[in-house]
Chain A
């Protein structure tokens, strides 16, 4: 399968199975399209000379012969459940000092009551991860919530314990914390910059957008404090990884301005995610928004290239695709591995397929405190990889999104094999932009 697309005013061809990427002229784009079994239109070539057409055809033939165009799809092995866990999201606090209007976790409480993980439970979660990790060396723990800074006692207990036992266990822990940054102190900044492999700081972009979407419990805007503290942390962080991460909704369809605002404030690593909400929610993104949102990604991509060319640090999570050395084919089939190698733990120790399932009784897998672990759900998630999802096998973007988010499939579309179509459309546009950016920037470096 070959995906021919136009992005940023240029034509590209992606050989889906090999990942090979070509920039082509319009004639060649049309000729490749014409060879595709899925081609709808056969193109109008009347404006080209026979010599030109023959020349382009020869170049296409050469690529096909070299095995980098129209590469046949391999038969992927059947997915199997191996019973290995390598990453945990610790929902360290079911509670938050903000009242974000789009919060999937219902004010951070996950549709229950305010609850905080005890240090003992956090330690048991670390032990559970080590015990389930098999031969995996690098283990990941993400402190999430709610607002994890409301329960630093448990965060510190988990880290202290992991550091004390990791060497003997032959493991290497990588910690991430996701915070609204409002409660950061100088001491915490120093601690996070030392202990956290990655820090995710939640800011939505422009001040008015952020203050409306992310008010405090007493209804005030949270932007000023979040910005001040986040900048302080990032400036002291050196080369270590971080992301300033926001959410956009139907209220700011011009979200490219928010991404650029975050970069303008001084953040070099930015992510802004489309909100995922049921379609009857006033903040939900809808099908009629798709074209506008796609245009926004193009606007963002143009400015992204321009800023980077001028030497400015600017990374956007979804444009950050390594067109030469991405993950291996095995990784591309399984995606985030939720429910299988990646699980979430609630404050009471309950284990869920990922943070998005916390509080859903039907999705309790076990508990880190009593050691119960029912393999039924992990088995289902592990064996439902991209090859088993509806529509994914024939999608050109399959090796970049890996079948998408299982929580979106289940919670928005009603089944693990179903596809959250709106998310698919936005993902495809982001991947096109990322590939085009990679191609354009590789040309500039030559």
Chain B
């Protein structure tokens, strides 16, 4: 692709079996006032979530 650089695709996992609740509670890490959930880690450490899009 000439105009688009694909950085990451389909990173919000909606697979069945997720939502196990084992990940860290947002407020316990550092913020205590302005929760950022996007930077929490998944305890299941799935590595194959990305479905690749062909990039020329």
Contact = CB atoms under 8 A, between A and B. Distances in A.
Interface in A316-351: 317-318, 320-332, 335-338, 341-342
Interface residues of A toward B: which range? 35 or more
Interface string B38-50: 1111110111011
A272 B41 CA distance: 20
B12 A21 contact: no
B4 to A, nearest CB: 5
Given A136-B21, A271-B31, A327-B23, A321 B8 contact: no
Task: Say what secondary structure dominates the interface of chain B.
Answer: loop
A399 B38 contact: yes
A138 B28 CA distance: 13
B38 A23 contact: no
Given A137-B22, A331-B23, A354-B27, A22 B5 contact: yes
A74 interface: yes
Given A198-B28, A442-B8, 9 more contacts: A20-B8, A23-B5, A59-B3, A89-B28, A138-B43, A247-B33, A318-B39, A328-B18, A427-B36
Closest 4 CB pairs of A and B: A330-B19, A400-B38, A19-B11, A328-B18
Interface of A: 12-13, 17-25, 27-28, 55-56, 59-60, 62-63, 66-68, 74, 84, 86-87, 89, 104, 136-138, 140, 142, 174, 176, 178, 198, 200, 243, 245, 247, 271, 273-276, 317-318, 320-332, 335-338, 341-342, 354-356, 399-402, 404-405, 407-408, 423, 426-427, 430-431, 434, 438-439, 442-443
21 contacts: A18-B11, A23-B7, A24-B3, A28-B3, A59-B4, A68-B9, A87-B28, A198-B28, A243-B29, A245-B30, A245-B31, A317-B39, A324-B50, A326-B39, A327-B23, A327-B41, A332-B12, A355-B32, A434-B38, A438-B7, A443-B5
Interface of B: 1-15, 18-19, 21-43, 45-47, 49-50, 53
